[in-house]
Amino acid sequence: MTEVGNTFKDIVCTFCGCLCDDIIIEVDGEKIVKNTNGCAISKERFVGHMENRCLQPTVKGNPVTLEKAIQRAVEIIASSKRLLIYGLSSTENDAQREAYRLAEITGSVVDNTTSVCHGPTILGAQESGETTAALAEVRHRADLVIYWGANPAAAHPRHIPHYIRQPGEYIKDPKKDRQIWLVDVRETTTTRMVDRFLKINPATDLEVIQTLRALIRGTKLDVTEVGGIDIKELEEIATAMKTAKYGVLFFGLGLTQSWGRHRNIDAAIRLIQDLNAHTKWGLMPMRGHYNVSGANKTSTWVTGYPYAIDFARGYPRFSPGEYTAVDMLARGEPDAMLNIAADPVAHFPRAAVAHLASIPVINIDPKFNMTSQLAEVNIPAAIAGIECDGAATRMDGLPLYLKKVIDPPDGVIPDRDILRMMIKSLEKVMK
Amino acid sequence: MAEHLILKNGVVFDPMNGIDGEVMDICISDGKIVEKAPANAKAVDLKGNAVMAGGVDPHSHIIGSKLNVARVTSPEVNRHHPYPATSKTRSGVAGIIPSSFATGFLYSAMGYTTVVEPALPATKALGSWEEIEDIPGLDIGLLPLFCNSMITFKYVEEGDIGGLAAYIAWTLKKVGGLGVKVVNPGGTYAWAYGKNVCGLDDEVPEWDVTPRSIMTGIAQAVQDLGLPHQMHFHPTNLGRPGNVHTTMQQLDAIKSVKPSGKKKEVVHLTHMAFDCLGVVEEGMANWKDVASGGLIFADYYNKNKHFTTDLGQITFGQSMTMTGDGPFQHSLYLLTGGKAKWSNIPVDVELPGGAGIVPFTFEPKSPANAVQWVGSLEFALSIKDLWRLFLSTDHPNGGPFLKYPLLISWLMSKRQRDIWLEMVHKFAVERSTIANIEREYSLNDIAITTRAAPAKILGMDKTKGHLGVGADADVAVYGFNPEKTDLGKNPDLILKHFAQAQFTFKGGVQVSKNGIVAKQIHSRVHTTHPKLNEALSARIDRELEEMMSKWFSHSFSNYPVPARYREHLEIPRVIDSTSVQA
Ligand code: SF4
Ligand SMILES: [Zn+2]
């Protein structure tokens, strides 16, 4: 840790999948007073880390000690027949690893937020493989960068300015030597930051991608437009993609969660694979939560699978659509839920939330969220990368060490330690 | 937690100490083999069963993002292979790319105790240390890749072998590496431009370096540092018919490297089954004309002592090819007509073109696969000195490590080979001399090629690969009496016993019995810390900070793996490299 007085350098921002690690944090006594280099969201995350904090464990809204809250959580878990463990994308790797252990000893289902964001990306990769990219390589080499169904200006504010619109070893002038394009169904704040905006009709992503594939393969198409774009323009785009020296496609939820879902991603992967017969291309999902990539990674090495895992038989089984949290809840299957570092009540569809409201929920999170209002047990946690250390994975797979810059509030501990306490006492109960 | 033990009445195969099937007792105390166990030692009567040091596997892909990408993209290969939890051990999946806990347990069950992951992108090392936390029961090493890194190229271009050596030393220390891996030098970099290299003096885009200057430069730097393990080398032209000739050319080129004095060998050629394909007389370099290169390469091996090798045996059935050789993986994908799931994973600065993954099935009835299968067996059965060879399948490339018993049976049993020659395409017989080879490996030969030789090749033979006093108490007991069992005549017994050791002891702790693992202990990680002289050390700190800050997309200070992930696992070995000049 580079520490100058109370200034910390090269701090990793634990908000979005960019995991910018050049943040300078200044601490004055017990307060974070300044964040240099971070975007507006990052500043809010660090300087505002004490806002809206849950500081006190509660059971049914009544303040209790940490031990009492854990005791009640363990009672709920031990008496449940079908526990759902969910979340895990906004915390660090060790908390995730403890969650799998808890799922294994209780025979539960464990799922992370992938199932409601880039789940289709994984299903697409299961069809076709994954031809990925790496952020420094994009900066050094890419002369054509395309964002598809993504709005980095809002969701990943430094993605373009910090990683992409920067000079690299072989791209000396990032304005002249590198084209940045955006494909989306509407104008967004990102539109202003790119060199070219391609507006396609809603729900035509798959058609447009397949058309590009056909054109790249040299097929002549007897149509005048696809997805609202003139075929002449599509031909010109296909040629540009084929003749780029090094291309990268970044895609967001606009592609994964729109009509076609995993088929869109499957087609996009095949498009990139086809292009590699001509030149060099890669693609990368714009992962949202800062450590959702890490959640997939830890889950995969521990269980063999990236999300949607059931331990009911004493070993991991994988079935998206079946062991995914929303589907489980919509079917009314879980009789209790342990939620860690996510806010399902805010993001899940109504039927899933309705079932959530009818079962005991244990919620571990640093802050108050909509799920805490509904949870029977609330346990506050330290914020990884600010109040405790840990590890996380950037959207391109780079692991980074998260540092602690300030003590957590009195009595508040990391979620991994809360989970360890639960496991310890469960092992006693279940013997 | 380690016990005091006397393993009594085992028939011991310990080639490093010249013991070939003698009945003797092995004494264990505090995790080490000792002369005499304390009086309170627990005695275990092995009743004449075979005893060897724990297995040592210097080349098995068990850690890293390539494994995770393979698991994520191909869940079907693990779905039908659950590995259930017990009250003492964690669960997982145990197909051809097992999950982390299962990987450790499956190795323990077979009597293996040391495994090296031979392809670590150094910049992603933190993730590997985290994974090792969940891979139990082994001594582990990691080999960072230096072959296509822009930093390597800069030093090679300037002919600055001292700088290159210092970069290697710095990286081994900062991320916790054991040795140095080289994969298709220059080729995976060229892959960032959609290209590859094949000749020794081919150009590499943007840089004034060649495969020759990269491979000899790195091999020399490894020797200058005095690293215990020579450069671990995956040559160019992998998987191309006729490549046995280009492989020999590359090994010839590396002859110019001066050994450090401790060992004669300056390079380890890995997975020769993929590097030593021949072609029929007057044939073309294509799959139609492929022939075994086993005999040609055995002849070269017998005459040239500056290298060691391993088999990378293909074993038929589903496998998962994964290498740091991106252009090779892409060509494999094209070979499937673009149907296979092809993955490519570029790594910042160190592997710009990217490692690749392609699921692949080796078919016994495929002429090409049958020839590749026979080539490495012909080689192994035709060489004189087994001390420069170890058995491998390049897990999971040629097949999973779970197929080692099958590989052992092919080497130990002519009968088993004849059974398989009936099943595979006739080219295996027609394009090799296998049918005429009577040689059968003895148990001593197996002990050499699965324990003693690999430990020596890794430079870990002080504590690994043998059962002499001072060795780590890593012991495998196999449930047959070698004096009463004719394994050559009964290949099924080879499969049975080598798949499930009767006992496996790791550091004196019994981790498995009859193939069932009942103890989950932390693995340890062996690393090499070369100590540089002050001038060179200061210089490399300065130069790397400048290059890394400019080239990586994350901060220089965040590159090293922090102590908190290492100190409870790491066994660092400090070596004196102060003679390398600044
Ligand atoms: S872009 Fe994302 S990771 Fe970077 S500073 Fe902003 S919120 Fe943090
Ligand atoms: Zn390999």
Task: Report chain A's mean pLDDT, rounded to a whole number.
Answer: 96
Q: Which of B74, B346, B556 sits opposite A282 (nearest CB)?
A: B346
> At A64, is the pLDDT very low, low, confident or very high (cuts 50, 70, 90)?
very high
Q: Is A156 in the pocket of ligand 1 (CB under 6 A)?
A: yes
Q: Are B230 and B265 in contact (CB under 8 A)?
A: yes
Strands A229-230 and A225-226: antiparallel
Q: Are A343 and A371 in contact (CB under 8 A)?
A: yes
Report the C-alpha gap between A327 and A307 in whole angstroms: 13
Q: Give the total number of structural domains in chain A.
A: 2
Q: Which of B78, B341, B347 sits opposite A128 (nearest CB)?
A: B341
Phi, psi of B247 (to 5 degrees): -65, -45
Task: Give the CATH number for residue A344.
Answer: 3.40.50.740
Ligand 1 centroid to residue A254 C-alpha, Å = 20
Establish if B375 belongs to a structural domain: yes
Q: Give the pLDDT confidence score for residue B1 in this predicted structure.
A: 45
Report in angstroms the alpha-carbon separations of A246 from A128, A139, A169, A276, B300.
21, 10, 13, 10, 41
Q: How many CB atoms lie within 10 A of CB B492?
A: 11
Same domain assignment for residues A254 and A222? yes
Ligand 2 centroid to residue B283 C-alpha, Å = 29
Taking only the tens place, the pLDDT of each residue in A236-282 is 999 999 999 999 999 999 999 999 999 999 999 999 999 999 999 99
Phi, psi of B557 (to 5 degrees): -70, -15
Largest CA distance in chain A: 71
Report in angstroms the alpha-carbon separations of B581 from A328, B221, B225, B346.
64, 11, 10, 33
Q: Are A276 and A174 in contact (CB under 8 A)?
A: no
Sequence length of chain A is: 431
> Which tokens in the block code for residue B570?
């790491």
Q: A105 contacts in B (CB within 8 Å)?
A: 85
Q: Contact A125/B343, CB-based, under 8 Å? A: yes
Tell which residue, A345, A383, A400, A348, has the closest CA to residue A17. Answer: A400
Residue written as token pair 């296998």: B434
Task: Give the CATH number for residue A190.
Answer: 3.40.228.10
Please state at what angle helix B65-73 crosses helix A119-128, rounded to 10 degrees: 90
Q: Contact B72/A135, CB-based, under 8 Å? A: no
Q: Which bound ligand lies closest to the C-alpha atom of B66?
A: 2
Q: Contact B68/A101, CB-based, under 8 Å? A: no
**Whether A376 contacts chain B with CB within 8 A:** no
**Whether B549 contacts chain A with CB within 8 A:** no
Q: Are B163 and B225 in contact (CB under 8 A)?
A: no
| Chain A closest-CA separation from residue B147 CA (Å) | 17
Q: Contact B192/A282, CB-based, under 8 Å? A: no
**CA–centroid distance for A62 within its chain:** 33
pLDDT at B3 over 90: no
Same domain assignment for residues A301 and A375? yes
Q: How many CB atoms lie within 10 A of CB A273?
A: 24
**Cross-strand pairs, A83:** A336
Establish if A137 belongs to a structural domain: yes
Q: What is the chain B residue with the closest CA to A128?
A: B341
**Whether A420 contacts chain B with CB within 8 A:** no
Q: Are B15 and B444 in contact (CB under 8 A)?
A: yes
Over residues B25-39, the mean pLDDT reads 95
Tell which residue, B519, B506, B568, B517, has the closest CA to residue B114. Answer: B506
Q: A300 contacts in B (CB within 8 Å)?
A: 68, 71-72, 99
Which residues of A, range 387-416, sit inside 8 Å of B by Cβ? Answer: 389, 391, 393-394, 396-401
Which residues of A, range 249-308, sit inside 8 Å of B by Cβ? Answer: 273-274, 276-280, 282, 296-298, 300-306
**CA–centroid distance for B471 within its chain:** 21
Q: Which of B78, B344, B557 sits opposite A304 (nearest CB)?
A: B78
**Cross-strand pairs, A226:** A229
Same domain assignment for residues A281 and A324? no
Residue written as token pair 């079908």: A82
Written as one letter, the residue type at A134 is: A
Report in angstroms the alpha-carbon separations of B282 from B239, B273, B291, B408.
20, 22, 11, 34
Same domain assignment for residues A238 and A367? no
> At A2, is the pLDDT very low, low, confident or very high (cuts 50, 70, 90)?
very low
pLDDT at A1 over 60: no
Taking only the tens place, the pLDDT of each residue in B332-370 is 999 999 999 999 999 999 999 999 999 999 999 999 999
Same domain assignment for residues A252 and A300? no
**Whether B546 contacts chain A with CB within 8 A:** no
Ligand 2 centroid to residue B60 C-alpha, Å = 6
B565 CB contacts (<8 Å, ≥6 apart)? A391, A401, B126, B129, B130, B133
Tell which residue, B108, B41, B141, B131, has the closest CA to residue B474. Answer: B108
Which residues of A, range 119-178, sit inside 8 Å of B by Cβ? Answer: 122, 125-137, 139-141, 163, 169-170
Taking only the tens place, the pLDDT of each residue in B251-297 is 999 999 999 988 999 999 999 999 999 999 999 999 999 999 999 99
> At B582, is the pLDDT very low, low, confident or very high (cuts 50, 70, 90)?
confident
Q: Which of B100, B123, B358 sits opposite A398 (nearest CB)?
A: B123
3-state secondary structure (DSSP) of residue A20: coil
Q: Are B97 and B71 in contact (CB under 8 A)?
A: yes
Residue B89 burial class via C-beta count within 10 angstroms: exposed 0-12, middle 13-18, buried 19 and up: buried
Q: How many CB atoms lie within 10 A of CB B385?
A: 12
CA A157 to ligand 1: nearest atom: 1
Taking only the tens place, the pLDDT of each residue in A123-182 is 999 999 999 999 999 999 999 999 999 999 999 999 999 999 999 999 999 999 999 999
Ligand 1 centroid to residue A12 C-alpha, Å = 9
Q: Which residue among A156, A164, A193, A250 has the greatest number of ligand 1 atoms within 8 angstroms of its CB, and so is best to mutate?
A: A156
Which domain, by its residues, includes A201? 119-285
Establish if B393 belongs to a structural domain: yes
Establish if A79 belongs to a structural domain: yes
Establish if B77 belongs to a structural domain: yes
Phi, psi of B292 (to 5 degrees): -65, 135
Residue B205 burial class via C-beta count within 10 angstroms: exposed 0-12, middle 13-18, buried 19 and up: middle
Same domain assignment for residues A149 and A202? yes
Same domain assignment for residues A333 and A209? no
Taking only the tens place, the pLDDT of each residue in A414-423 is 999 999 999 9
Q: Are B257 and B216 in contact (CB under 8 A)?
A: yes
> At A5, is the pLDDT very low, low, confident or very high (cuts 50, 70, 90)?
low
> At B2, is the pLDDT very low, low, confident or very high (cuts 50, 70, 90)?
low
Q: What is the chain A residue with the closest CA to B344?
A: A131
| Chain B closest-CA separation from residue A318 CA (Å) | 8
**Per-residue exposure over A348-357, b if at least 16 CB sit within 10 Å of its own CB, e if not:** beeebbebbe
| Chain A closest-CA separation from residue B20 CA (Å) | 40
Q: B102 contacts in A (CB within 8 Å)?
A: 304
**Whether A217 contacts chain B with CB within 8 A:** no
Ligand 2 centroid to residue B118 C-alpha, Å = 6
CA-based radius of gyration for chain B = 23
Best probe of the B interface among A128, A299, A315, A416, by most B CBs < 10 A, is: A315
Report the C-alpha gap between A385 and B496 in whole angstroms: 50
Q: Which residues, chain by chain, have CB under 5 Å from ion ligand 2?
A: B 394
Last residue of a domain, one of A235, A262, A285: A285
Report the C-alpha gap between A382 and A391 in whole angstroms: 14
A281 CB contacts (<8 Å, ≥6 apart)? A131, A241, A244, A246, A247, A248, A249, A272, A275
Report the C-alpha gap between A414 and A396 in whole angstroms: 26
Q: What is the dihedral of CA A366, A367, A371, A372, to 10 degrees?
A: 90
Establish if A43 belongs to a structural domain: no
Task: Report chain B's mean pLDDT, rounded to a whole number.
Answer: 97
Task: Give the CATH number for residue B201.
Answer: 3.20.20
| Chain A closest-CA separation from residue B202 CA (Å) | 20
Q: Give the total number of structural domains in chain B.
A: 1
Q: Contact A391/B130, CB-based, under 8 Å? A: yes
Same domain assignment for residues A87 and A129? no
B68 CB contacts (<8 Å, ≥6 apart)? A296, A297, A300, A301
Establish if B344 belongs to a structural domain: yes
Q: Give the pLDDT confidence score for residue A34 in this predicted structure.
A: 97
**CA–centroid distance for B472 within its chain:** 20
CA-based radius of gyration for chain A = 23
Last residue of a domain, one of A237, A260, A285: A285
Same domain assignment for residues A73 and A123? no
> At A4, is the pLDDT very low, low, confident or very high (cuts 50, 70, 90)?
low
> Which tokens in the block code for residue A352?
């899933």
Residue B61 burial class via C-beta count within 10 angstroms: exposed 0-12, middle 13-18, buried 19 and up: buried
Written as one letter, the residue type at B427 is: F
Same domain assignment for residues A423 and A301? yes
Establish if A295 belongs to a structural domain: yes
Over residues A28-54, the mean pLDDT reads 96
In percent, the amount of chain B with pLDDT more than 90 equals 99
Q: Which bound ligand lies closest to the C-alpha atom of A11?
A: 1
Establish if B374 belongs to a structural domain: yes
Written as one letter, the residue type at B254 is: I
Same domain assignment for residues A243 and A161? yes
Q: B73 contacts in A (CB within 8 Å)?
A: 125-126, 129-130
Q: Which bound ligand lies closest to the C-alpha atom of A46?
A: 1
Which domain, by its residues, includes B242? 55-410+444-458
Residue written as token pair 């971070």: A38
Written as one letter, the residue type at B457 is: I
Residue written as token pair 């102060």: B578
Q: Are B176 and B125 in contact (CB under 8 A)?
A: yes
Last residue of a domain, one of A285, A302, A330: A285
> At A430, is the pLDDT very low, low, confident or very high (cuts 50, 70, 90)?
confident
Q: Which bound ligand lies closest to the C-alpha atom of B143?
A: 2
**Whether B349 contacts chain A with CB within 8 A:** yes
Best probe of the A interface among B66, B76, B86, B91, by most A CBs < 10 A, is: B91
Q: Is A375 in the pocket of ligand 1 (CB under 6 A)?
A: no
Establish if A41 belongs to a structural domain: no
Q: How many CB atoms lie within 10 A of CB B170?
A: 22
Q: A282 contacts in B (CB within 8 Å)?
A: 344, 346, 354
Q: Is A289 in the pocket of ligand 1 (CB under 6 A)?
A: no
Report the C-alpha gap between B261 and A302 in whole angstroms: 43
Q: Are B217 and B164 in contact (CB under 8 A)?
A: yes
Written as one letter, the residue type at A54 is: C
Which residues of A, range 318-337, sit inside 8 Å of B by Cβ? Answer: 318
Ligand 1 centroid to residue B556 C-alpha, Å = 18
Q: Give the pLDDT confidence score for residue A297 in this predicted structure.
A: 98
Q: Which bound ligand lies closest to the C-alpha atom of B117?
A: 2
3-state secondary structure (DSSP) of residue A92: coil
**pTM for the full predicted model:** 0.97
Report the C-alpha gap between A135 and A18 in whole angstroms: 9
**Whether B368 contacts chain A with CB within 8 A:** no
> Which tokens in the block code for residue B443?
């148990």
Same domain assignment for residues A95 and A135? no
Q: Is A118 in the pocket of ligand 1 (CB under 6 A)?
A: no
Q: Is A16 in the pocket of ligand 1 (CB under 6 A)?
A: yes
